[in-house]
Structure 1
Amino acid sequence: MKNIIITGTSRGIGFEMVKLFSEAGHNVLALSRNVKPVSSLNLKNVTALEFDIADAAAIVKLSSFLQARMERVDVLINNAGHLVNKPFEEITAEEFKACYDVNVLGPSILIRTLLPYINKDGHVVNISSMGGVQGSVKFPGLSAYSSSKGAILTLTELLAEEYKETGPSFNALALGSVQTEMLEEAFPGLKAPLSATEMAQYIMDFSLKGNKFYNGKILQVSSTTP
């Protein structure tokens, strides 16, 4: 039984991961601004905590909860994401910043806050997008989203190098299209080849075992464009 923390658990892949980890017998701390979807499931070994990853104060307060309830973290999955789909000239500075707050700055502060609790052989998995991969196909309207997803990929590589002697391991998964609410927001009408549950299963397996084979790596998890 391992202690798992997942952000962005109110819907989509994050929501499905909570169920899968619980079924596998692990302790899960599900972090999201909306806790009702997870709380209503009454899952064994799952705690749903109201949490805004864009709020630095909320992240710091999380350490108090961990001291009382978890003490040790084996896996952190930074799954929360924020999407803005607008032509570049129409995106406001606030909208651009919101993408970076959720997709880059929030995860970086969360990682720094949780480092004292994460095992040396622990695993931090940052969920990114194929849109953030250098040289991949890019799409109009996703300048804020895709550039922020590119930033979390670079951060992953840097942290893996900085902590390679002490742990934990850091890896990133650049996801292609998955049938989620966010995909519908980015590409209305597009039918993805993978369900949220299928991708959640892949991420769960990778988070539990992938750090034995990878550190500082960006894995492209996509069979389609987008």
Structure 2
Amino acid sequence: MGELVALVVAEGLRPGDRLPPEMELAQRLGVSRHKLREVLTAWTRVGIVSRNKGAGTVLAAPITGRTLHLPLAVTVEAESLLRTLAVRRPLEIEAVRLAARDSTPAARDRIAARMLDLMAQHESGADWRAADRAFHAAIHDATGNPLFGQLITQLQRAFDTVYETPFGMPHLGSDTIPMHRALAEAVVAGQGEEAAALMARILDDTEAAARAVMEGPE
């Protein structure tokens, strides 16, 4: 809802400021309260606003004039993905480090097999997202600690409940897929620090792609 973005900018609201009450907002924007609540719910899920009965709706993340140049969906999706990546980063990096140290021969075979499947899907031009999830799941399982897989899956699902294809780009991050071969090889070889560095690069590149879309053309 670009009109809501425009209102926030026009009012000069900053993180910590309270938005007008829902009824007033709906009237000013010329939309139903149901539609407004859908947008506010999406914003709450990705941390742009916080809502509770006592404090109302409070802006939690900055919205600037630049936001007006992008569709609202793009802005919210970018904020969601960046927040998800920020929380996933330490989990994913530590997971590959532990998998390199603690994985069994059978677990390493599964990682290598999932990597080959991911490469084949990507190189054929097919939808590689399921293969990518399976590859990372094999690494999480190889840590021997089920919490890695559970927490990371929950984070991803939180994002997917709002957006299935970020920015209308289902293959965002495709450029990072070739690095997954080296990542798998480092884990299988027991090179924990090399694997951690590669995982950090993959996350850096994915974050950069999200920021490029969010920032738009200068």
Q: Same fold (TM over 0.5)?
A: no
Richer in helix (by share):
2
Higher relative contact order (CA 8 A, sep 6+): 2
